[in-house]
Amino acid sequence: MTRTKKAARKIPVIDPYLPHNGNFGYRVSRYELDLEYKVAINRLAGSATITAVTLAQLRTFTLDLSDALSVSKVTVNGRKPASFGCSHDKLHIALPSPLPAGAAMTVSVRYGGAPRPIRSHWGDVGFEELTEGALVAGQPNGAASWFPCDDHPSAKASFRIQISTENPYRVIANGELISRRTRAAMTTWTYELAEPTSTYLITLQIGMYEIYRLQKSPVLMQAALPARLKRNFDHDFGRQPEMMKVFAKRFGPYPLPTGYTVVVTDDDLEIPLEAQGISIFGANHCDGTGSSERLIAHELAHQWFGNSVTARRWRDIWLHEGFACYAEWLWSEESGGRSADEWARHYHARLTKSPQDLLLSDPGPRDMFDDRVYKRGALTLHALRRCIGDANFFTLLQDWAARYRHATAVTDDFTGLAANYADVSLRSLWDGWLYSKDVPAL
């Protein structure tokens, strides 16, 4: 007697680094969130309207959404679906009849619950309660902790975020504040973000914040922070307008017309984090010592590299972190500190004493935020700069930032573009720095 084993159906994934994130069959162009958040009881409720187009005939589809949130109603193009339900951080929707490829699709989801961070390899990410308010730290897969979405960096869309909360609190979100209405004990804040943005870069910051305008900046820069931290902020963050000038000179124009906002929470944060047009720091980064200056430069640089030009897949995370780390060295060089070459030699010596088991072009999900990705990525850029010269190197960075502005890219896109700025083959440079584990000689 013979027996045959039925082959297990292999579930396709968009990105093996986050195999449960992202969804097939459609492309989102816009999210419109209409929410209410009660700070005292950590209660989020409202609706999300998602505009998309089908990429294939669609009978069933999914959205990423945390199991901490429950869905009470769904419509697709104004009609009730055949069924919907939530499980394993997905909202599953079945249509009564299939939509053809290329069809417009408007999905409305009414939902609510007590949002909480999503547990991941890298700790808790997403929506998090503060002592007085809340924050969203979305990288890499925290967006689904507070709204239904296609949560993958390759899926960029525009956003409107409308949220009501109690009067004492200020709400900071991405884009331009286009409306602020107070009724009784609640204020409704409406933000509009036209630029295509990855879901993990969408944030919500709620707190007892005062707004301060930074002077002498070529771009609108403002800060949201507790009044008690203002003196420390002026000292620790006072050079941001200079940073903006240096980075605009080196990388090209700042990518957003709505300016740049720094939020400093009243709580301590382990690390600062980036969002589109916003950087978020903890009170511990604003202590009056000036010790966070490199982090301030790093987060600002992400507005070009990571937020505007975004890696299409997480394995290419060096295109974010290596570039932002190198921007730290450039700021040091321009502001009277160590030169980029001195920093490169310093960190090269440290890397050669570290385990030689990381592939920069594909570090693996557990190591994609390893400090070696940051430093080796920066060293890769420094090696390229030394090879092609300063003029070509900085023209390349500007070309890169302009060509992929508000779009996504992969490592091959960068190495292909760099070839246009080199008189010799760069293959051995890329082989050594990107595609080998051993740290090359500098």
Of 263, 268, 295, nearest to 282 by C-alpha is 268
Q: Are residues 296 and 424 in the same domain?
A: no
Q: Is residue 107 part of a domain?
A: yes
pLDDT tens per residue, range 104-113:
999 999 999 9
- Residue 332 confidence (pLDDT) above 80: yes
pLDDT for residue 4 is more than 50: no
Residue 127 contacts residue 119 (beta carbons within 8 Å): no
CATH number at residue 130: 2.60.40.1730
Task: Say if residues 204 and 159 touch (Cβ distance below 8 Å).
Answer: no
Q: Are 30 and 98 found together in one domain?
A: yes
Q: Check whether 37 has a pLDDT greater than 50.
A: yes
SS3 label, residue 417: helix
Is 80 exceeded by the pLDDT of residue 1? no
pLDDT computed for residue 239 by the predictor:
97
- Are residues 411 and 270 located together in one domain of the fold? no
Q: Once rounded to an integer, what is the mean pLDDT over residues 342-363?
A: 97
Choosing from 177, 192, 207, the residue where a domain stops is: 207
Q: What is the pLDDT of residue 121?
A: 87
CB 326 within 8 Å of CB 377 = yes
pLDDT at 281: 98
CB count within 10 Å of CB 51 equals: 15
Question: What residues make up the domain containing 194?
Answer: 26-207
DSSP conformational letter for 331: H
Angle at 411 between CA 297 and CA 21, to 5 degrees: 85
Q: What one-character DSSP code corresponds to residue 79?
A: B
- Between the alpha carbon of residue 8 and those of residues 5, 17, 23, 234, 238, the distances in Å are 9, 21, 21, 60, 59
Q: Are residues 136 and 238 in the same domain?
A: no
230 in a domain, yes or no?
yes
Query: What is the rounded distance in angstroms from the CA atom of residue 304 to the CA atom of residue 202?
Result: 16
pTM of this prediction exceeds 0.85: yes
The CATH number of the domain where 402 resides is what? 1.10.390.10
Query: Of 280, 303, 326, which residue is a domain's last?
Result: 303
Q: Contacts by 9-13 with C-beta closer than 8 Å and gap 24+?
A: none
Domain co-membership, 34 together with 127: yes
pLDDT score at 5:
42
- In this model, does residue 432 exceed pLDDT 50? yes
Asked if residues 271 and 182 have their Cβ atoms less than 8 Å apart, the reply is no
**Is residue 11 very low, low, confident or very high in pLDDT (cuts 50, 70, 90)?**
low
Q: Structural domain tally of the chain? A: 3
Same domain, 243 and 269: yes
pLDDT of residue 369: 97
Residues 260-279: pLDDT tens digits? Answer: 999 999 999 999 999 999 99
* Mean pLDDT, range 43-52, rounded to an integer: 98
DSSP string, 204-271: EEEES-EEEEESS-SS-EEEEE-GGGHHHHHHHSTTHHHHHHHHHHHH-S-S-TT-EEEEE-SS--SS
Residue 10 has what pLDDT? 59
Round the average pLDDT of the chain to a whole number and report it. Answer: 96
- Do 124 and 235 lie in a common domain? no
Q: Is 248 exposed, middle or buried (0-12, 13-18, 19+ CB in 10 A)?
A: middle
Reported as a single tens digit per residue, the pLDDT across 371-426 is: 999 999 999 999 999 999 999 999 999 999 999 999 999 999 999 999 999 999 99
**pLDDT tens digits, 169-183:** 999 999 999 999 999
Instruction: Please tell me the predicted confidence (pLDDT) of residue 159.
Output: 98
Cα 153 to Cα 63, 157, 158, 202, 317, distances in angstroms: 14, 10, 13, 11, 11
Percent of the chain exceeding pLDDT 70 equals: 98
Q: Which of 184, 207, 230 is the last residue of a domain?
A: 207
User: pLDDT at residue 145 above 90?
Assistant: yes
Q: What is the mean pLDDT of residues 240-254?
A: 98
Is the residue at 250 inside a domain? Answer: yes
Same domain? 353 vs 215: no
- Report d(CA 43, CA 380) in Å as an integer: 46
The C-alpha atoms of residue 125 and residue 405 are separated, in whole angstroms, by 26
**Count of helix runs (H) and strand runs (E) in the chain:** 9, 22
* Shared-domain flag, residues 332 and 419: yes
How far from the centroid of its chain's Cα atoms is residue 15's Cα? 16
Task: Find the CATH number of the domain harbouring 254.
Answer: 3.30.2010.30
Strand (E) positions, 296-422? 309-311, 407-409
Name every residue whose Cβ is closer than 8 Å to that of residue 435 and which is 6 or more positions away in sequence: 359, 361
